[in-house]
Structure 1
Amino acid sequence: MDLKAIKSFQLIVAYGSFKRAAEELNYAQSTVTMQIQRLENDLGVQLIERGTKFKLTEAGRLFYEQSLPIAQDLERLQAAITDARSGEAGHIRLGVTEPTASYRLPPLLSRFMADFPRIHISIEIASTPTLCDRLQQNELDIVIGSAPELGTRLYFEPLFTEPFALLLPEEHPLAGAANIALRDIQGHRLLITSANCPYRKQLSFLLHQQGSAASDTIEIGSMAALPHYVAYGLGIALVPMVILQPPPAGTVIRTINIDGIHMTSGITCHTSFHPMKPAVSKLYQYLKHELQHMKQALGIQL
Structure 2
Amino acid sequence: MDLKTLKTFQLIVKYGSFVRAAEEMNYVQSTVTMQIQKLEAELGVQLIERGNGKELRLTEAGRLFHGQSLQIVKNMEQIQTDLANLQLGESGHLRIGVTEPTASYRLPGILKGFMSTYPNIRISVEFGNTPLLSERTLKGELDFSLCSAPDLGTDLYFEPLFKEEFVALMPEDHPLALKEVLSPEDIRDYRLLITSATCPYRRKLEMVMQETGNLTLDTMEIGSMTALKFFAQSGLGIALVPKIIAEPVSAGTTTRIIEGSLIHMTFGLLSKASAYPPQLAGHKLYQYLKQHLAT
- The alpha carbon displacement at 1:220 in A equals 0.7
1:214 deviates by: 4.9
Equivalent positions of 1:19-38 (< 5 A) are 19-38=19-38
Aligned counterpart in structure 2 of residue 117 of structure 1, from 116, 119, 122 = 119
**Does the CA-based 8 Å contact 1:230-1:237 persist in structure 2?**
yes
- What are the equivalent positions in structure 2 for 1:55-94 lying under 5 Å apart? 55-94=57-96
Matches within 5 A, 1:141-156: 141-156=143-158
Distance 2:290 2:38 in 1: 51
User: Structure 2: how far apart are the matches of 1:246 and 1:273?
Assistant: 39
Q: Is the 8 A contact 1:190 1:214 kept in 2?
A: no
The 1:247–1:278 alpha-carbon spacing in structure 2 relative to 1, beyond 3 Å, is same
Deviations 1:12-46 (A, max 9, x none): 10110122223333444444334323323433443
1:96–1:123 contact (8 Å) kept in structure 2: yes
Q: Is the 8 A contact 1:159 1:267 kept in 2?
A: yes
CA shift for structure 1 position 135: 1.4
State whether residues 278 and 286 of structure 2, in contact with CA within 8 Å, keep that contact through their aligned partners in structure 1: no
CA distance in 2 between counterparts of 1:4 and 1:131 reads 47
The question of whether the paired residues in 2 share the 8 Å contact of 1:2 and 1:39 is answered with no
Offset, 1:4: 1.2
In 1, the alpha carbon distance for the partners of 2:277 and 2:218 equals: 47
Q: Which residue of structure 2 lines up, in the alignment, with residue 202 of structure 1? A: 204
> What's the offset of the Cα at 1:50?
4.7
Q: Distance in 2 between matches of 1:286 and 1:179?
A: 36
Give ranges in structure 2 of 5+ residues lacking alignment: none
Distance in 1 separating the partners of 2:205 and 2:255: 18
Q: Which moved more, 1:94-103 or 1:42-51?
A: 42-51
The one-letter amino acid of 2:72's match is I
* Residue-by-residue CA offset, 1:242-275 (whole Å, 9 max, x unaligned): 1122011111111122234211111111113577
Amino acid at match of 1:181: S
TM-score of the superposed pair, with normalisation by structure 2: 0.92
Q: Percent identity?
A: 56
> Map of 1:118-267 to 2, 5 A cutoff?
118-267=120-269
Which one has the bigger strand percentage?
2
Query: Aligned-residue CA RMSD in angstroms?
Result: 1.9
Query: 1:237 Cα deviation (Å)?
Result: 1.6
1:158 partner SS: strand
Q: Does 1:13 align with 2:18?
A: no
- Alignment: residue pair count: 293
Encode CA deviations 1:72-111: one digit per residue, 9 max, x unaligned. 2222222222222222222211110000000010000111
Unaligned stretches of 5+ in structure 1? 294-302
8 Å CA contact 1:167–1:236 kept in 2: the answer is yes
Q: CA deviation at 1:238?
A: 1.4
Q: Displaced runs of 4+ in structure 1, greater than 6 A?
A: none
Q: What is the SS of the residue equivalent to 2:39?
A: helix
